[in-house]
Amino acid sequence: MSPVVQEFRPSIDELAELIVGFAANVQPGQVVSVLSEPGKEAVTRAVAESAYRRGARFVDVWYFDYYVKRARLAHAAENTLEYVPPWYGERLLALGREQAARIALAGLAAPHALDGLDPARAGRDRLPILKELVTVVNERSTNWTAAPAPTGPWAELVHPELEPEAAYARLWDEIVHVCRLDEPDPATAWRTRMRELVATAERLTARRFDALHFEGPGTDLTIGLLPSSSWQAAEFTRADGLRHLVNVPSEEVFTTPDPERVDGFVRATLPLEYVGSIIRGIEVRFEAGRAVSIEAESGAGVLRTAAAGDEGASRLGEVALVDRRGRVGPLGTIFYDTLLDENAASHIALGQAYTFAVADSDKRRVNESHIHIDFMIGSDDVAVTGLTRDCGRVPVLYGGEWQV
Amino acid sequence: MSPVVQEFRPSIDELAELIVGFAANVQPGQVVSVLSEPGKEAVTRAVAESAYRRGARFVDVWYFDYYVKRARLAHAAENTLEYVPPWYGERLLALGREQAARIALAGLAAPHALDGLDPARAGRDRLPILKELVTVVNERSTNWTAAPAPTGPWAELVHPELEPEAAYARLWDEIVHVCRLDEPDPATAWRTRMRELVATAERLTARRFDALHFEGPGTDLTIGLLPSSSWQAAEFTRADGLRHLVNVPSEEVFTTPDPERVDGFVRATLPLEYVGSIIRGIEVRFEAGRAVSIEAESGAGVLRTAAAGDEGASRLGEVALVDRRGRVGPLGTIFYDTLLDENAASHIALGQAYTFAVADSDKRRVNESHIHIDFMIGSDDVAVTGLTRDCGRVPVLYGGEWQV
């Protein structure tokens, strides 16, 4: 263990305890899967230790190595890039059958691993994301969460103006803050924040808007909602009722839109990191639900290839609203990691929808895809207005403040 | 990449090329599994790159973390320690069905991970070894190899008298030497050495000894052979004929003994590292094939627990002879890693036998077990004598020199 890691020892243990004991809510006897990367050993091992102390039966760590992925993208035959060994998906489905706990450690351990590669080739290899994830999430068989694991390379990407050690210390400070580890009892602080978000979600659901309208610099986008679209916070329950918080941090409320009724154009307000590649300056035009044009300052090919992967990949599966009362946005930090950045700003996602956010009557209408890619479109300069079925316009989120 | 790793860049690439191109003999279109550890990233990534350059379809790396294993052994419930997620074994069997290449990177990245734990508990968790390995090896469906990946912690264990950087440099020098990477063409050097070992194996087979007798300090052991026991070198072929070298380095010839006819006592001549634990000063007494007593200066519980795991775990599945003409023994270095140390000295293995080393007529007589644990019993002070069916005694290996 390096001196730097020892210095952050209390934070590592507190983060692991929050992840295992509160967010994933690991139960005695459970199998616990951990998706990690080389470079995240300290948090990974603390998570494993916390899980075993809570009576886990087995902790199954998958260290996914983006430099091995780089070797593939650089050298493998074009027609093999979408191959995934069948045992990867079978493991995930088995975790579902086991009613396992699933923990993903976010943050970048190797932010430059895919630099300079062809984005179109990069977009064809979506690992470590698996197509079976959609099934396991929507059947609600696992108690899962995603939480950040700070690393030196990630810190240097986020804070290039600082010396490496200072950048790493700053990133840890920020992670401690956004994860509410600086509260006397982080779990209680999260329960309080979740009550606020659930209340907001319930107010939004009660409005039964027909659509949302996003308007700001480079953005004029209308997103239709389904009749039964209900707003959700990130506090989920397994099908059997076990509570878990799926993102730490989480500051969003979200719902499942109508994949046939999205029109206009949108400019991303933050860069997007997707399976190892960074995409900057995204601009998308939608017509009748479909993304008909995807442009970006850099990395557009990654997103275009992913969005061309199946019929639903170019349609929306999520719309989420984030106010300025959360802890991520006010930092003004670009984390280059969706888990953090999507909780700084309202966002939409191409691809698979959460089916549990609509009633049975609408389940056949929600978007289906093997992808789910969130990108950020909100800021204080983007106004969000609710459109009612009788053509009324209701302010929803202006200047980052709730109007409902 | 650290400066230290850059310094060893040529060796890393040459080692990877030897592993992938010659030893595992990776073929275009193959899936390649790599068993590695956090801390062995540089060699792992070089192996992946070499495999993809040779046309591999996919490289599936499993970084097994001994510190996660430590958390389990320290905290998990006693009755869960033998649990292995079923998808671990299913993956290995699927690699067999795929006729995949399998590469294991030996050497210790975390030599102190299990320090201070209860050896009896440690012996119950054999991961990363899987019980399905016996099936896959004996069906000869995969082209596989094991080769060392030097790490700093391993170097400090092997050369505690040196400063860490000097120890790491020394270990690399030794690995380069024993892997014959200091030869103009390492693959040609290995072909030459394998021809010698195969010729020795053929001479031994032609003698059709009834038994071998090991005699030296603390050792007086007779190991019966089966009528069709044939001696082998580590150059294997897949069932379909694809050649692969299963150990780099390899200096041994070995065969499958009679598990019912082993009698006497034996003192190990080197310490043994087994799934994370180090066992020193092993002394075993055999009666009618069974290890009836297992003692050690330290770590005996690990070996005793493993040997009690099933009926065949206390009987022999291998006897191997190593002369002093190899490159490992003359170094006089204890590597605390079976791959290296077993090629320094003659050895025997508790547990599963290689079924292909006997004819069909003897296959039902070979030892079966879920374990295969080699430990070293040879030295220049241990004389190996062949016993013929007519009660003759034939010198085989005296002072480390072949007598046959």
Distance from CA of A91 to the nearest CA of B (A): 6
Distance from CA of A187 to the nearest CA of B (A): 24
Task: Locate the chain A residue with the closest alpha carbon to B32.
Answer: A85
Cβ contact B94–A85 (<8 Å): yes
Cβ contact B75–A61 (<8 Å): no
Instruction: Please check the confidence at residue A1 and state whether its pLDDT lies above 90.
Output: no
Cβ contact A71–B52 (<8 Å): yes
Is B68 near chain A, with CB under 8 Å? yes
The vertex-B322 CA angle with B219 and B379, nearest 5°, equals 35
Instruction: Please check the confidence at residue B2 and state whether its pLDDT lies above 60.
Output: no
A400 Rama class: left (phi>0) / alpha (psi -120 to 50) / beta: left
d(CA B41, CA A64): 11
**Does pTM top 0.90 for this prediction?**
yes
Of A7-11, A61-65, A291-295, B228-232, the poorest mean pLDDT is in A7-11
Instruction: Please check the confidence at residue A3 and state whether its pLDDT lies above 60.
Output: no
Is A63 near chain B, with CB under 8 Å? yes
The neighbouring-strand residues paired with B60 are B33
Cβ contact B58–A52 (<8 Å): no
Is B53 near chain A, with CB under 8 Å? yes
The confidence score (pLDDT) of residue A123 equals 85
d(CA A160, CA A105): 22
Is B57 near chain A, with CB under 8 Å? yes
Task: Locate the chain B residue with the closest alpha carbon to A91.
Answer: B87
Instruction: Please check the confidence at residue A151 and state whether its pLDDT lies above 80.
Output: yes
d(CA A305, CA A121): 8
Task: Locate the chain A residue with the closest alpha carbon to B30.
Answer: A80
Q: For residues B104 and A80, is the Cβ–Cβ distance under 8 A?
A: no
Out of B60, B72, B87, the one facing A59 most closely (by C-beta) is B72
> Residues for chain A: how many in total?
404
What proportion of chain A, given as a percentage, has pLDDT over 90?
Answer: 93
Is B402 near chain A, with CB under 8 Å? no
| Side chain identity at residue A276, one-letter code | G
**pLDDT tens per residue, range A361-398:** 999 999 999 899 999 999 999 999 999 999 999 999 99
Cβ contact A65–B44 (<8 Å): yes
- Which of chain A's residues have a Cβ under 8 Å away from the Cβ of B42? none
Nearest to B92 by CA among B110, B76, B74, B104: B104
Instruction: Please check the confidence at residue B8 and state whether its pLDDT lies above 90.
Output: no
Interface test with B, best of A65, A82, A93, A136 (most B CBs within 10 A): A65
The confidence score (pLDDT) of residue A120 equals 84
Is B80 near chain A, with CB under 8 Å? yes
d(CA A252, CA A234): 7
The confidence score (pLDDT) of residue B120 equals 84
The sign of the CA dihedral A211, A212, A213, A214 is: negative
Query: pLDDT-derived band of residue A170, with 50, 70 and 90 as boundaries?
Result: very high
Is A112 near chain B, with CB under 8 Å? no
Task: Locate the chain A residue with the closest alpha carbon to B39.
Answer: A38
Question: Which is higher by pLDDT, B1 or B329?
Answer: B329
Measuring CA to CA, how many Å separate B394 from each of B202, B385, B402, B403? 16, 6, 11, 8
Interface ipTM: 0.93
A268 Rama class: left (phi>0) / alpha (psi -120 to 50) / beta: beta
Q: For residues B251 and B235, is the Cβ–Cβ distance under 8 A?
A: no
Query: pLDDT-derived band of residue A23, with 50, 70 and 90 as boundaries?
Result: very high
Is A163 near chain B, with CB under 8 Å? no
Is B79 near chain A, with CB under 8 Å? no
Task: Locate the chain A residue with the closest alpha carbon to B47.
Answer: A68
Instruction: Please check the confidence at residue B1 and state whether its pLDDT lies above 70.
Output: no
DSSP string over A339-368:
HHHTTTS-EEEEE---GGGS-GGGGGGS--
Query: pLDDT-derived band of residue A276, with 50, 70 and 90 as boundaries?
Result: confident
Instruction: Give the mean pLDDT of chain A.
Output: 95
d(CA B29, CA B47): 16
Nearest to B376 by CA among B335, B344, B332: B344
Instruction: Please check the confidence at residue A67 and state whether its pLDDT lies above 60.
Output: yes
Average pLDDT over residues B92-110: 97
Is A41 near chain B, with CB under 8 Å? yes
The confidence score (pLDDT) of residue B148 equals 98
Size of interface A-B (CB pairs under 8 A): 109
* Domain layout of chain A by residue ranges: 3-185, 187-402
Out of A44, A84, A87, the one facing B94 most closely (by C-beta) is A87
Instruction: Please check the confidence at residue A192 and state whether its pLDDT lies above 90.
Output: yes
Average pLDDT over residues A72-84: 97
Cβ contact B53–A63 (<8 Å): no
Outline where DSSP puts E strands in B39-168: 58-63, 101-106, 143-148
Out of B57, B61, B80, the one facing A68 most closely (by C-beta) is B61
Say which CATH superfamily domain B3-185 falls into. Answer: Thermophilic metalloprotease (M29) (3.40.1830.10)
Interface test with B, best of A41, A68, A95, A151 (most B CBs within 10 A): A68
Task: Locate the chain A residue with the closest alpha carbon to B89.
Answer: A87
Cβ contact B45–A59 (<8 Å): no
Is A394 near chain B, with CB under 8 Å? no
Cβ contact B87–A94 (<8 Å): yes
The confidence score (pLDDT) of residue A5 equals 53
**pLDDT tens per residue, range A196-236:** 999 999 999 999 999 999 999 999 999 999 999 999 999 99
What's the token pair of residue B337? Answer: 């890693």
d(CA B35, CA B30): 16
d(CA A391, CA A73): 49
Average pLDDT over residues B236-240: 96
Q: For residues B334 and B187, is the Cβ–Cβ distance under 8 A?
A: no
Q: For residues A34 and A166, is the Cβ–Cβ distance under 8 A?
A: no
**pLDDT tens per residue, range B279-323:** 999 999 999 999 999 999 999 999 999 999 999 999 999 999 999
Of A6-15, A72-81, B290-299, the poorest mean pLDDT is in A6-15
Q: For residues A370 and A351, is the Cβ–Cβ distance under 8 A?
A: yes
d(CA A391, CA A386): 10
What's the token pair of residue A276? Answer: 């190892």
Out of A38, A68, A83, the one facing B48 most closely (by C-beta) is A68
Interface test with A, best of B17, B44, B50, B58 (most A CBs within 10 A): B58
Cβ contact A76–B52 (<8 Å): yes
Cβ contact B71–A61 (<8 Å): no
Of B95-104, B114-123, B340-349, B368-377, the poorest mean pLDDT is in B114-123
The confidence score (pLDDT) of residue B12 equals 95
Is A49 near chain B, with CB under 8 Å? yes
Which 8-state DSSP code applies to residue B205?
H
